[in-house]
Structure 1
Amino acid sequence: MNSDLDPSLDLSDQLLELLRGAPEGLSEHQLIQALKARHSTHIPHLELTDKLVLFRTHFLVFNALYRLRDRLNGSGDAQLSISPLCVQLLPYVPGTAAALSELDPLRDYYLNLKNLRDTTEQDVERLLASFWTRMQGSEEKLAALELFGLHNGSQPLSLTVIKQRYRQLVSQHHPDRGGSTSRLQSINKAMEILQRYYS
């Protein structure tokens, strides 16, 4: 797992190699750390505490993931489930590929490299600030559950389960451990929201 990635491979192929070695899936954070540990030349090797570096690294990884998902769907080899908390290769199910890319504004955003080139540090600040203000009512609850990776209903939800997940995420994304302050703020905000619904 610690050997270098083949530098001739495209970032999407490097991600595919990492995901094939982790059938249970990997979080975005784990993918970025694995790319850095294996000396991928496709992402910046700078501190993620800088918001613009964090954004650019995130964008490059998600651009490659969406390109990979399109390619796997086109060939029928596998399906790729993409979310920041779990990126996972799944068995291919015919008929779902078209539905996946039909109305996917995130896919359109990440496949447009203009969004990478033209985004400034101020834009990143605004993106982070606007995320939670856009969320109202059930959207707010769903966004918080998605951030916690608890939106797929695979386990019964209780405040105990949510708090346990909150502690895991805080530990994983704390700036003292290389995480980002903005991600930690989002996790805290999500916890506030979920406490209102599950207390």
Structure 2
Amino acid sequence: MSFDHPEIPEDLTLAGTEGSREPTSWRYLTQKLEQAVAEILLPGPAMISEHDLIKQLTLPPHSIFSENCLQSPLDLFQTHFLTFHTLYRLKNKWLQEHNLVLAMTSVRITLYHYDAEAHSSHNAPVAADPLAEYYLNPKNLFDTSAADVEKLIRDFWLMYVHPHQKQSALDTLGCAPDSDAGQIKARYRRLAMEHHPDRGGNTALFQAITEAYEVLKVYYSL
């Protein structure tokens, strides 16, 4: 696979040293990230969180990401993608060159030595990773807009919001199950104004109304 993308789009502001307005070549950026991640991971620790790794990439001597690289949903996605793109490139490289296994999950990044003689072939760490194809394709970075990221976030939360939470939220707002987005939004605004603590309303009730609306925002794309 070729990684020679001509240059990073101008609106991809997080990629590069903070304050720089010059477009950064894709080759240069990936090489710089690989070098920085290697300097962080190879000496240790054997385990690190993605957040801590990104934090180190914002600090000298690396200073690849700006300090506000996680500020907006799009910034967060781009920073996460670039980080995992780099990790997956190094994963293949380090296994071949250093006999090191780089394992990534949503919680932690782990690096350990792989002893081929001590393991049978059926558990060798070279099984196909469905995420590798996604992160190793820069097109998935350049073609993802802010609207796409918002949809990804909504779809993610839909997997975790249990159906009973939707009905409970509707009950809290006093909305019928067949209420549409406009009716729910109007009902929320009326209740929020009526029960706002600054207007003498009950704080606990106001919080319950707000939390119910947050749940329904996921379902109805409010």
What interval of TM-score do these two structures reach, taking the shorter chain for normalisation?
0.5 to 0.7
Runs of 5+ in structure 2 lacking a partner? 1-28, 163-214, 216-222
Q: Residue 158 of structure 2 aligns to which amino acid in structure 1? A: T
The match for 1:71 is 93
Deviation string 1:93-151 (CA, Å, 9 cap, x unpaired) is 4342331xx2x2211111010000000111111111112434699xxxxxxxxxxxxxx
Unaligned runs of 5+ in 1: 1-6, 138-188, 190-199
Amino acid at match of 1:107: A
Write out aligned runs for 1:42-191 (5 A): 42-94=64-116, 95=121, 96-99=124-127, 102=128, 104-134=129-159
Q: TM-score, normalised by structure 2?
A: 0.51
Q: Work out which of the residue numbers 51, 56, 79 in structure 2 matches 1:34.
A: 56
For the Cα contact (< 8 Å) 2:94–2:100, is it kept in 1?
yes
- Percent identical: 35
Q: How many residues align?
A: 129
Q: Is the 8 A contact 2:30 2:86 kept in 1?
A: no
Preserved contact between residue 11 and residue 64 of structure 1 (Cα < 8 Å): yes
- 8 Å CA contact 2:99–2:115 kept in 1: the answer is no
User: C-alpha separation between the residues in 1 aligned to 2:146 and 2:155?
Assistant: 14
Deviation of 1:42 after TM superposition, in Å, equals: 4.0
8 Å Cα contact 2:47/2:108 also seen in 1: yes
Q: 1:122 to 1:78 in 2, by over 3 A?
A: same
**How far does residue 32 in structure 1 lie from its aligned partner after superposition?**
0.6
Higher relative CO (Cα under 8 Å, sequence separation at least 6) belongs to 1
Greater helix fraction, Structure 1 or Structure 2: 1
Letter in 1 for 2:91: R
Whether contact under 8 Å (1:79, 1:90) holds in the other structure is yes
Tell me the TM-score normalized by structure 1: 0.56
Indicate the structure (1 or 2) with the bigger Cα radius of gyration. 2
Give the 3-state SS of the residue equivalent to 1:98 in structure 2: coil
Give 1:124's aligned amino acid: V
